[in-house]
């Protein structure tokens, strides 16, 4: 294992937010002094803008010049109830959208701007001036849960635990009763065919087909409750990664929905699965829960013994060093940040076997993990490198 040392130990600015772009080729960072954009692999600074004021949200549109900015931190650059679409080529604000309450998250595509507030989600056409298409009421959504695909957009429903899924072409709305407690995380697969959700309980990840809203899988992160930080699905929609406040990155196999339409990379992965003993329904046998061995096959035992667990996991860094004053300040709630604290454990799939995990805060970290075949015939998750990206 080639674990790289940290590049810089200096304090530097504080990152208030962090988010990958659509294909995880870049990630944007909102700072208490402005914003910056990094190439994901290798982790290298591409763009830096110093406003001498805070940016609480920075969301990229692919690898374009456009970045959605919302003020944040103790000295915000922009009002926290406004979305500013920044044109980095011209270095000015191209579009402004104002709301009556603070913005919690922004998602961009070439045709849509989606803005999540505390109790509503607003859809706009990406135009100048922006055209509002529709508004949807939601349950309390303090972290701005919302995910935008090429065909659908998903966000919390009016009832805690439910998901609203809206077709972008016709506006049809579907309701998914995903959980019995409020949602904590959700993500669409890159092909838009799969939606994965987790609740505040944090023990189960449920997987749904976006074509008919049917539940196609249920994955158990663990038995103890946890705060889910992020969910992400691999480029070929075959694997799911999840992070939590347990400081653990888990990798699961996903069930297949439409086998004939999967790409060559999926075929390659299936061949990989078959070489390691996969089950007929698309789950790897090693993850279909050998955690409990023979206990999982005994009738009438509690379901935790037969649930689907991750086939690989690894530790990642979540918090700043609590022994230092800087670390204590970094973990305290900060105004102008969705949820009150910098995000940790944000996941990006560089490819079907490379997972990147980044976190905001004073100790902003980038970590790289690889899925590798072991001599024991199983797949293992190995950390391959890390750095404090604010020191680059």
Q: What is the pLDDT of residue 339?
A: 76
Question: CA torsion 304→310→316→318, rounded to 10°?
Answer: -40
**Please, what's the b/e burial string for 189-198 (b: 16 or more CB within 10 A of its CB; e: otherwise)?**
bbbbbbbbbb
CA dist., res. 14 & res. 164, Å (int):
34
Q: What is the pLDDT of residue 340?
A: 80
CA dist., res. 309 & res. 220, Å (int):
5
Q: What is the pLDDT of residue 295?
A: 43
DSSP per-residue string spanning 266-289: HHHHHHHHHHT-B-TTS-BGGGTT
CA dist., res. 82 & res. 101, Å (int):
9
DSSP per-residue string spanning 223-255: SS---EEEEEE-TTS-EEEEEETTSEEEEEE--
SS3 147: strand
CA dist., res. 174 & res. 193, Å (int):
14
CA dist., res. 133 & res. 49, Å (int):
31
CA dist., res. 221 & res. 227, Å (int):
11
Give the bridge partners for 199, in sequence order.
Answer: 183
Show the CA angle centred on residue 352, arms to residues 346 and 357, nearest 5°. Answer: 20
Residues in CB range of 384: below 8 A, 6 or more apart: 1, 2, 3, 368, 369, 370
Label residue 5 exposed, middle or buried (CB < 10 Å: 0-12, 13-18, 19+). Answer: exposed
**pLDDT mean for each 10 residues of the chain (392 residues):** 46 87 97 96 95 96 95 95 96 97 96 98 96 97 96 98 96 97 97 97 96 95 95 97 97 75 37 36 42 49 65 86 41 70 94 97 94 94 95 66
**Please, what's the b/e burial string for 23-52 (b: 16 or more CB within 10 A of its CB; e: otherwise)?**
ebebbbbbbbbbbbbbebbebeeeeebebe
Structure-token pair, residue 249: 């990155």
CA dist., res. 340 & res. 334, Å (int):
5
Residues in CB range of 375: below 8 A, 6 or more apart: none
CA dist., res. 52 & res. 137, Å (int):
35
Locate tokens 């579009």: which residue?
A: 95
């Amino acid at each position: 294992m080639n674990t790289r040392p940290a590049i810089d130990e200096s304090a530097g600015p504080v990152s208030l937010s962090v988010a990958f772009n659509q294909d995880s080729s870049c990630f944007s960072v909102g700072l208490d002094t402005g914003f910056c954009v990094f190439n994901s692999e290798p982790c290298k600074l591409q763009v830096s803008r110093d406003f001498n004021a805070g940016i609480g949200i920075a969301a990229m549109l692919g690898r374009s010049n456009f970045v959605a900015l919302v003020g944040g931190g103790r000295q915000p650059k922009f009002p926290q109830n406004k979305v500013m679409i920044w044109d980095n080529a011209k270095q000015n604000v191209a579009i402004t959208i104002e709301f009556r309450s603070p913005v919690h998250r922004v998602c961009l595509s070439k045709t849509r701007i989606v803005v999540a507030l505390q109790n509503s989600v607003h859809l706009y056409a990406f135009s100048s001036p922006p055209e509002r298409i529709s508004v949807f009421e939601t349950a309390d959504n303090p972290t701005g849960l919302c995910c935008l695909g090429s065909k659908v957009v998903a966000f919390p429903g009016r009832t805690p635990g439910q998901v609203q899924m809206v077709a972008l072409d016709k506006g049809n709305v579907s309701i998914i009763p995903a959980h019995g407690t409020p949602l904590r995380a959700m993500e669409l697969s890159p092909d838009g065919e799969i939606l994965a959700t987790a609740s505040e309980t944090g023990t189960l990840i449920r997987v749904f087909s976006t074509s008919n809203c049917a539940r196609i899988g249920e994955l158990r992160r663990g038995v103890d409750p946890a705060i889910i930080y992020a969910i992400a699905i691999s480029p070929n929609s075959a694997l799911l990664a999840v992070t939590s406040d347990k400081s653990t990155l888990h990798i699961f196999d996903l069930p297949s929905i439409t086998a004939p339409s999967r790409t060559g990379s999926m075929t390659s992965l299936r061949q990989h699965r078959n070489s390691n003993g996969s089950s007929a329904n698309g789950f790897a046998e090693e993850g279909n829960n050998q955690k409990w061995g023979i206990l999982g096959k005994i009738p009438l035992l509690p379901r935790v013994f037969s649930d689907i667990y991750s086939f690989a996991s690894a530790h990642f860094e979540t918090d700043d060093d609590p022994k230092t004053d800087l670390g204590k300040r970094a973990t305290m709630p900060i105004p102008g940040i969705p949820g009150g604290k910098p995000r940790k454990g944000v996941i990006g799939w560089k490819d079907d076997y490379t997972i990147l995990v980044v976190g905001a805060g004073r100790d902003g970290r980038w970590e790289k993990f690889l899925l590798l075949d072991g001599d024991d015939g199983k797949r293992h998750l190995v950390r391959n490198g890390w750095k404090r990206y604010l020191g680059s």
